[in-house]
Structure 1
Amino acid sequence: MKKKRNLPIIITILISVIGFIFIGYLYWSWHMEDLAINKPELQQVNEEKQTLTLKNIIHENEKFVVQIEAQSEYNTSTGSGFLYNQKGDIITNAHVIRDSEIITVRTANARIYPAAVIGIDKKTDIAVIRVPQLAGEKGLEMEREKPSEIGDEVIALGSPHGFQNTVTLGIISGTERNFSVEGYDYENAYQISAQITHGNSGGPLLNRESGKVIGINSVGTEDGTLGFSIPIADVLDQVEKWSNEARNDLLDFTSMDDLVNTINPDQFMQDSAYLIEYFFDSILIRDYVGAYALLGDSIQTTTTYSDFRKGYIQIINLDYTILSEEVTEDNNLITTVEVTIDTKLPNEEETKKVELIYTLTVAYENEQLKIIEMDIQE
């Protein structure tokens, strides 16, 4: 009789064990198998997450790297800098802006703004300038804690010899380098294999894996084989002190009207080329907001951002070649661009290649370069 009473208990235990085993098997199966995504919008998000390439990293960070032009009574010098906070503050080297009377910055999308010095250390070669028009931008992400090690891959961004948006790659080839150059004392500097030349000074050094700023590119050897970068973690306390103490109403900025009136035709052509390059690169990287912001009021009035994005969202690859450039009598630049586009709809397997001719008109609008007209033909 006792055995019969225990039988239901035993059966219950066996069923529970089998049930737990079955549930565990299902859980394991679900995690081992890839789930099919049938919704196009989810598939689109999944595809965009898989496109994190070196080009994406460079494009996202170049937005916040600027070319700096510093003018004194006897000299004009160029260098680089990078936005690091939402106040419009830009980190650079002291030797880039030292003793200058007029400082201007040129962004990656060819916009030009006046800047003012809010802090400079003529011993350690660091400085911070402010551009109020860039306030609200997030800036680059700083590596505040983890020190870089020998062998870490790095990306150096800047404007060597005036060539804006230039990238060099390398590794950390040495650490804790101490030396002096032209009155500046560099301590604990990173030695890098990425080339640092005239104009690179003040630009950011990025960790290839994280994309965070690890240093300020400052000095290069004559033969270009070695560069040196100030660790960002060593100077952030001083930088943030300057930033917190600065007041815009006490700073001296150059007039925007003066800047636009002093731009020469060659600079206008160069800036326009940067603008067009930035427009197409933004579309390729799926930065539709950045591309749309380059359009003038006349285009944005007739084309909403949503419609603009729909026209480009299916693009998976894009190549372009500038065919011709012509400056009109009213100082606008008309550029003809041949564009080859590969598109692919979410539910299709094959890509479709389309060749288009873009005719873009670039001009100043509200004191900044914009694409004010756009004609597209097959």
Structure 2
Amino acid sequence: MQSIRKLPIIAAIAIIVMGVGTLVYLYFSWQAKDLTINNPIIEKLDLDETEVDLKTIIHEAEKNVVQIEAQNEHSTVTGSGFLFNEKGDIITNAHVIKGAETIHVRTANARIYPAAVIGSGDTTDVAVIRVPQLAGETGLTLDKDSLAETGDEVIALGSPHGFQNTVTLGIISGTERDFSVDGFDYNNVYQISAQITHGNSGGPLINRTTGKVVGINSVGTQDGTIGFSIPILDVINDIETWSNEAQNDQLTFTNTEELLNSLDEEQFILDAEYVMEYFLDSIIIRDYVGAYSLLGDTMQSSTSYSSFREGYIQIMDVKYTHLSTEIKENNQAIVTVDINLTKNQPNEEETIDENYQYQFTIGYENDQLKIIKLETTQE
């Protein structure tokens, strides 16, 4: 009797085993066969995910490149540097900040902050300065794993002659170069075809393919045709040691107001025009957040970010001419410029061109240069 009762159970188990066996057989049979798709619309795409778009590399790098002004009693040295971590630490050359009594940095969005030295080489031309106001920013990615090779395409960024965020392209034209200049020893450095001039010192050398920083631009020939860059891999231990050991409460920072009060009219005009150009450049590359951050409190309170973005999202290109700037009595600059906008037509493939005159009112707000008012007139 018990044997009869067990028959359904045994049958069920047998069915399950046979079903699993059938599924396993079908699975391996399908795996062994090539799948043919007879569809001419579908074709294989070979994607190279290692190479990053050039404009993207430059735009992201520019956000983290700063202009450095190191002052002492007798002179002011202008150089470059780049943010590399979330502590607000900036890599530059030791010769840029050597002997400086005060150090300020100008960021890509035209803000000015005081900085303090947290480490500097005696014979190696590398230094790190800290700007607490930049803490929390990601910074550029350093290539800590490998050295660049001859023939690698590179991008050099910096602020030559005070022109912020200047970009030059080239290749690694030589490696393992050794020499000494002004008390600094340059060993195993890269020789690059990208131009290095005054003000470029301390800026990043970026691998064109990976978008990572491979070197610190340091020295150039007098004619500017050849530059030399210190490999990041050779100095990363010093850089990280200085960064990890520095404590903000042990650093001395200069009051930014001292710099602002010392600006002459010519410098103020250059700064105001730079803010205007950075605003328009941000619109061109669709960095609406960057452009919106340049607006003063009054403009931001009257225009939300979404409305601001909506007003510029159809713009494909911006060209400007006939730039003029004048200083008002209330320490504001009026920058007037003729603008040609190329706009995308909704639901259409064609674009249209429109001409405007933009008038930027630019002044200091909370010790930072901002666009206080923007008036546009269509021509």
Contact 1:108/1:274 (8 A) holds in 2: no
**1:303-322, CA deviations, whole angstroms, 9 ceiling, x for partnerless residues?**
10011111111222221224
Distance 1:283 1:368 in 2: 21
**1:26-68, CA deviations, whole angstroms, 9 ceiling, x for partnerless residues?**
596674299xxxxxxxxxxxxxxxxx75344322211111111
Query: Quick check: 337-346 or 356-365, which moved more?
Result: 337-346
Scaled by the length of structure 2, what TM-score is found? 0.86
Task: List structure 1 segments (4+ residues) > 3 angstroms apart after TM superposition.
Answer: 20-31, 52-56
Give the secondary-structure state (helix, strand or coil) at the position aligned to 1:32: coil
CA 1:321/1:179 → structure 2, altered by over 3 Å: closer, same or farther? same
Give the secondary-structure state (helix, strand or coil) at the position aligned to 2:331: coil
> What amino acid is the match of 2:202?
G
Distance 1:59 1:298 in 2: 28
Distance 1:278 1:322 in 2: 17
**1:280-317, CA deviations, whole angstroms, 9 ceiling, x for partnerless residues?**
00011010100000000111001100111111112222
CA 1:87/1:28 → structure 2, altered by over 3 Å: closer, same or farther? farther
Scaled by the length of structure 1, what TM-score is found? 0.86
Q: How does 1:1-378 map to 2 (within 5 A)?
A: 24-26=35-37, 31-32=42-43, 54-345=54-345, 347-378=347-378
Distance 1:323 1:197 in 2: 27
> What amino acid is the match of 1:166?
T
> What amino acid is the match of 2:328?
T
Q: Which runs of 5+ in 1 are unaligned?
A: 1-15, 35-51
Contact 1:113/1:256 (8 A) holds in 2: yes
CA 1:233/1:325 → structure 2, altered by over 3 Å: closer, same or farther? same
Q: CA deviation at 1:191?
A: 0.4
Contact 1:95/1:122 (8 A) holds in 2: no
Distance 2:200 2:98 in 1: 16
Corresponding residue number in structure 2 for 1:41:
none
Q: Which runs of 5+ in 2 are unaligned?
A: 1-25, 46-51
Percent identity, aligned pairs only, is 62
CA 1:23/1:172 → structure 2, altered by over 3 Å: closer, same or farther? closer
> What amino acid is the match of 2:123?
K
Q: CA deviation at 1:217?
A: 0.5
Contact 2:272/2:335 (8 A) holds in 1: no
Query: Quick check: 341-350 or 300-309, which moved more?
Result: 341-350
Distance 1:184 1:257 in 2: 34
Count of residues in Structure 1 that have an aligned counterpart in Structure 2:
347
Distance 1:335 1:111 in 2: 18
Contact 2:168/2:194 (8 A) holds in 1: yes
Distance 1:93 1:27 in 2: 61
Distance 1:32 1:346 in 2: 31
Distance 1:164 1:65 in 2: 9
Contact 1:322/1:335 (8 A) holds in 2: no
Q: CA deviation at 1:161?
A: 2.2
Corresponding residue number in structure 2 for 1:5:
none
> What amino acid is the match of 1:131?
V
Contact 1:84/1:139 (8 A) holds in 2: yes
Contact 1:319/1:341 (8 A) holds in 2: yes
Larger Rg: 2
CA 1:322/1:296 → structure 2, altered by over 3 Å: closer, same or farther? farther
Query: Quick check: 257-266 or 281-290, which moved more?
Result: 257-266
Q: What root-mean-square deviation, in Å, do the aligned CA atoms of Structure 1 and Structure 2 show?
A: 2.5
Corresponding residue number in structure 1 for 2:19:
none
Distance 1:31 1:177 in 2: 51
